[in-house]
Structure 1
């Protein structure tokens, strides 16, 4: 069974502002069969990016995407995030005020996405049975 890496604490989320740093972090996630996570400066603000396509394993179920979507919407409503995109294997959030806040958000979503994928592997869904 795949372990899909380990969720990273905020302090260890890579700064992927420079393209070469993003490439190295994604390559490392892929080599470690882990969910990619990074933060990047965009002007005076920061963005968060998570990409589960960097690792093997199933796409998380729609129910988990619904939970993640609700969390993203709460951040947008609170004006913590100005713009966001979410799909079963990819999340990005933009215009976050500080690097510290971006790292906190990235770590929380990384842990959640990791946990949902691990749960999906451990507990087979009725939809996957043939």
Structure 2
């Protein structure tokens, strides 16, 4: 069993295709102060969802969001996903061909969000003065 608040490996990413599974997984993430992550079937394709608001950690800074955005754009260009939405606290990617690829992407972005957040905590970026 993973330690609460640590990135999940692909095999442990919950399938939240059913609404009750989504609610249970989100409640579990909140209870464990963890970044929420899941996959879900949408028709014949899959989606990935991550939500850092489930945890009490700091917002991921703009510089880190740019890294996540770049990775998501590469997936769109490659045709691996058709749409990616990236914000400081939320990521979704749609129309992934199969469950295994969705799990792989979810695990990678989950680990990246954790790592970028931990890096920001350890080495805070000074705020620019207006």
Which TM bucket (shorter chain)? over 0.9
Aligned pairs for 1:1-130 within 5 A: 5-127=5-127
Residue range with higher mean Cα deviation, 19-28 or 114-123: 114-123
Aligned length: 127
Deviation string, structure 1 residues 86-127 (Cα, Å, up to 9, x no partner): 100000000000000000000000000011111111222211
The whole-number CA distance in structure 1 between the counterparts of 2:84 and 2:125 is 28
Task: Return the offset for 1:29.
Answer: 0.3
CA distance, structure 2, for counterparts of residue 37 and residue 124 of structure 1: 25
Q: Give the 3-state SS of the residue equivalent to 1:88 in structure 2.
A: coil
Contact 1:81 1:95 in 2 (8 A): yes
Q: Secondary structure at the match of 1:127?
A: coil
Query: Could you list the runs of 5+ residues in structure 2 that have no partner in the other structure?
Result: none
What is the CA–CA distance in structure 2 between the aligned matches of 1:21 and 1:119, rounded to whole Å? 31
Name the CA distance, whole Å, in 1 between partners of 2:24 and 2:11.
17
Where in structure 1 are there 5+ consecutive unaligned residues?
none
Query: Normalised by the size of structure 1, how large is the TM-score?
Result: 0.94
| SS at 1:95 equivalent | strand
Deviation at 1:82, TM superposition (A): 0.5
Equivalent residues of 1:57, 1:121 under 8 A apart: no
C-alpha change, 1:125 and 1:39, in structure 2 (3 Å) is same
